[in-house]
Structure 1
Amino acid sequence: MADSFTEDEKKILEPYFTNLDGPVFAFTSRVPEEVVAVLFSKYSRSAHSIRKNFLDLVKDPESGFGGLLESVGSGSNDAFTAALAKARDFFRRILVEYGDDSVGELGMAHVAFENVSQIAAKKIEDARLASPLEKSTRYVVFEKGNYCKPSAIMRSEFSNEYMALCDELFGAYSSQLEPMKAFVRERWPIAEFDFNGRRISRMADEHEVKRAKSAYESSVKAKALDILRYYLPAATFTNLGITANGRAFEYLILKLMSDELEEMREIGRMMHEELLKVIPSLVKRAAPSSYLAETRMEMRAFAAGKLGGVQQDKQPTVTLVSYDKDAEVKVVAAALYQFSGHPMGQLRKMAEKMTAAERIEVIDEFMGRRSSRRERPLRAAEAACYQFDVLSDYGAYRDLQRHRMMTQIPQLLTVENGYDLPPEIPEAGIEKQFTALMEKAAFLYRKIAAKMPLEAQYAVPLAYRIRYLMQFNLREAYHLIELRSVPQGHPSYRHVVQEMFRQMNAVHPTLVHYMKYANMDELDALGRLKSEFRKEEKLAAIGKTI
């Protein structure tokens, strides 16, 4: 039965809910996240609706919530602070009473991280249940001198060499930007490209010409920065924002506070301090974990003892380490399972007895109707799994690591796996300087690593390769490969996912056949141009630009 409210109750509720009579509604931005968590938690123990429970909170003098609302209306900061403290004490008692960790997932917060290293950004973005957005190496020029100076290095005999290396890497990155843009214009002149099916020489509308030139220049800059980012050291400062629930933040704080690097521990401490100001009830238990800290330290020593004398095998960029040999059977059985009443064991036996043609018939019904890459296969595609060992430049890892619906396990960033040389570097005539700087970075890395292997990572340029494990199911493979193979993607990670496609196709051609939006074009031109021109056209349509 729908709720009914008096006129006075409606006046109380209206500022905080998007409607008062529908079965589906949202909280407005005026409701604190902890209040949302408390109200949602009551669903499990209360027969009342959320709006009724909201009114109960307002009317309960012990909750402090009525005073909180009054203080917001009065504009008094002192009254608001006092009311908020009383309300939060009440909320903590409620959350303890409900005693379920999942309550922490009901309140959200948004945290900004500025001037953190590339190393730190990857640790922060490793939070699987968070939504990050980071400063792009493609659209933003990174400023000279804006890099992390770890106290362990700055207190050591390597401090001057470390800063000199970082300054030199940034110097090359900055000084070569305009020459690289000129090279890109010469290598891929605007006259060679189509804009909505027409060359710029065929355009009569001067506004359309301006939009085409603007899109082209944006693409030229993006291409130049894609090439030059290989210079940037892992110490380079970046900015990012994270949106997550209290439970995810609590675990992220725990991990960062327990990290081996001082920068991570300090970020964890500051994040905890700031979140205690906005969702204190949901992150109050966050603390360093001796289990994590000790396990990392002991496993590093244990692995060194076990593997120290074992020669590392050479490997290509992408290696399919393992996969489900019976993937077709698993997917066919899972696809039928959802739409039948039969137990999985019976369906597996039926799928095993099917002919190849019969299994293809099921798979075609299951995946054959996709009309865009945004239409992912249904969840039955998660029944088949793949494990890849990847060795790519750190810049590519930086981008691919954001895919968190999988298991990712990175090794330390070192110089021992060599570095990638973008083909444009020798074509532009700067290979000698690039190579010299990479060798200089390797020399300093090894000096620092002999005493501080973890801190030595900061001195490694993004060109150097890192090894990491990626394990995901077939459904995630569709998302990852089709998204990251688009022409506007960076050539480095495009190569990684294209190779994943080839190797998956070699073992499971039927399952991969429907991955029809994977782009296998290896031509390396101005991949951003079409999307940049579409953006210019859209902005023009709403009167935001020329």
Structure 2
Amino acid sequence: MKVILAGFNVDTEALKSYKDKNTNLTPESISAAYARISRSPKSVDILRKEAREEVAKARKSNRTIIFEMGHHSIAEHAVFNFDVIGISRRAVEDLERFRLCSYTEKSQRYVTLKGDFIIPGELRQTNLLEPYVATIKIQNNFYKHLFNKIKKYNLDAFPKLAMSKKFQKLLENMAKEDARYILCLATQTQLGITINARNLELLMRRFASHNLQEINELGKKFYQLVTKIAPSIILFCKTNDYDQKTYPELREYASTLARQTDEPVTSSRDVELIDHTTDADDKVLAALLFKTSKKKYPQCLQLIKKMPKHKKEELFKKSCQYMELYDAALREFEFVNLTYSLVVSGACFGQLKRHRIATITSQDYNPVCGITVPDAVKKVGEEKRFIEIIKRTENVYQKIEKKQPGVGAYILTNAHHKRVLFKTNLRELYHLSRLREDVTAQWDIRHKVQKMSNLAKRVMPITSKLLSGKDEYPKVYFKLFGKKPKIDQTPQPG
């Protein structure tokens, strides 16, 4: 694992004088200057100048304002960029849980993988190491075999497309997309991260208390890099009882309850709408009316409830008539919520987790929840071998879990399922739908989100009318308005 501090924000005036005066480059001066805005009559540029020239004083000011006075938002003015190289897909799921950060990760859909994987520290000195390594090598070899076989199948199935270099690459990427389902969560990846100091402190505190050594090490590397540059804005980042003990003790409590109850109710459905805002259409429309009138919200809601359906549809259309495929729904669509129970593969969750504005609570991967076998694997006659490797994988997983609970997930594959509780408002669902229902989206998450949209349309049939992928949006728009939107396809850059 390698973590590199790729960059951080600095005062541009400090950059200008850096070579001549050996200026201390740190984001702390900006944080300290902005912290004083609310209580100083001085101009902001003067406050920055003072902080630049007296970094030690600026650092003392930061500690006082952030940690003694409790104004933690000041730390958000310090921003860092990190290269994170050679961590596992399992670790990425924890790293990308933090909402107010930006991540760009190497895609297993577009990059041919070489077989690099993580060996957890928990297994290095145990008799579990040999079967762990041997099984992952079998997975990786089968990945290469599947990729070549599916690629050939795709090229043979679409000979005209294969004549074009552009579409030949597309067919190859489709093969990578399906072959990767046999790869484990220990597979190495890399990503770039942009994060402010307030969120970084939270991340390091959580990682210090994590049960996996890889996550602990990652948090330490972040700390070692940042504390040299900005020591005044990172403080509460050590192991603590709240982060370390709460979920394990809740898990133990839950297990005692489970032993007292009957067999759990099971469902074969992978997408279920288990809760939603009642009268959702009326509440969105009332919020729109509230925003654009001088009435109180209860009055707006009462007016909407009295409207006939065609009048409600008319109001909805007015709110969306200028919406293009790249536009977000109006903020008033956030006033209604939907909660889904999902069963998703590791490959699917790898994309679902990026929608961090939603509330996502997931269980650990569990072989009991089943697997996803791509259709392409079946078409090339490799389903039997796929299942055999899955069974071997699950056998090793069980052995690891008995001795090292929580570590077994490393060896499970992108095909394995986990249960997810996913709560979203309607505005965010529109974003999810545009991106993940599009024809260019990966098929696994596309199928899930299509089901989510269809369920939403049952309970909020008016305000969900324009849910669709970008490719279908012009058709959906035409059906509602009788005309096409101004932009009927995603424009190419340049």
**Same fold per superposition (TM over 0.5):** yes
**Equivalence for 1:509:** 461
The percentage of counterpart residues that share the same residue type is 25
Figure out how many residues of one structure are paired with residues of the other and give that number: 460
Q: Normalised by the size of structure 2, how large is the TM-score?
A: 0.87
**Equivalence for 2:298:** 345
Q: 1:52 aligns with which of 46, 56, 59?
A: 46
Distance 1:315 1:36, change over 3 A: farther
Mapped pair 1:229 → 2:180: yes
Whole-Å separation in 1 of the counterparts to 2:428 and 2:70: 34
Q: CA deviation at 1:518?
A: 5.7
Aligned pairs for 1:19-38 within 5 A: 32-38=26-32
Mapped pair 1:166 → 2:136: yes
> Would the aligned equivalents of 2:146 and 2:377 in 1 still touch at CA under 8 Å?
no
Q: 2:377 aligns with which of 400, 425, 428?
A: 425
Per-residue deviation, residues 25-68 of structure 1 (Å, max 9, x unmatched): xxxxx963222211221221112222122233456xxx1x5xxx
Distance 1:300 1:516, change over 3 A: closer
Per-residue deviation, residues 90-145 of structure 1 (Å, max 9, x unmatched): 6545655764111111110112221111111010000011111111101212222x
Per-residue deviation, residues 422-456 of structure 1 (Å, max 9, x unmatched): 11112112222211101111122122223333011
Unmatched 5+ residue regions in structure 1?
1-12, 19-29, 66-84, 194-199, 201-212, 522-533, 542-546
Q: 2:319 aligns with which of 330, 346, 366?
A: 366
CA RMSD of aligned residues (A): 2.6
Q: 1:287 aligns with which of 231, 234, 238?
A: 238
Equivalent position SS for 1:463: coil
Whole-Å separation in 2 of the counterparts to 1:425 and 1:338: 52
Whole-Å separation in 2 of the counterparts to 1:407 and 1:183: 39
**Equivalence for 1:27:** none
Q: CA deviation at 1:300?
A: 1.0
> Would the aligned equivalents of 1:137 and 1:225 in 2 still touch at CA under 8 Å?
yes
> Would the aligned equivalents of 1:498 and 1:520 in 2 still touch at CA under 8 Å?
no
**Equivalence for 1:320:** 273
Distance 1:91 1:386, change over 3 A: closer
> Would the aligned equivalents of 2:155 and 2:171 in 1 still touch at CA under 8 Å?
yes
Per-residue deviation, residues 386-442 of structure 1 (Å, max 9, x unmatched): 001111111100111011011000101121111111111121122222111011111
Bigger-Rg structure (1/2): 1
Q: Normalised by the size of structure 1, how large is the TM-score?
A: 0.79
The one-letter amino acid paired with 2:190 is N
Whole-Å separation in 1 of the counterparts to 2:158 and 2:265: 41
Whole-Å separation in 2 of the counterparts to 1:423 and 1:454: 30
Q: 1:381 aligns with which of 327, 333, 348?
A: 333
Distance 1:187 1:14, change over 3 A: closer
Distance 1:422 1:516, change over 3 A: closer
Mapped pair 1:143 → 2:119: no
Mapped pair 1:407 → 2:359: yes
> Would the aligned equivalents of 2:83 and 2:190 in 1 still touch at CA under 8 Å?
yes
Unmatched 5+ residue regions in structure 2?
1-10, 17-23, 474-489
Whole-Å separation in 2 of the counterparts to 1:96 and 1:423: 55
Distance 1:87 1:359, change over 3 A: closer
The one-letter amino acid paired with 2:196 is N
The one-letter amino acid paired with 1:360 is E
The one-letter amino acid paired with 1:188 is F
Whole-Å separation in 1 of the counterparts to 2:158 and 2:228: 52
Q: 2:189 aligns with which of 234, 238, 261?
A: 238
> Would the aligned equivalents of 2:365 and 2:409 in 1 still touch at CA under 8 Å?
yes
Whole-Å separation in 2 of the counterparts to 1:152 and 1:109: 30
Q: 2:149 aligns with which of 179, 187, 207?
A: 179
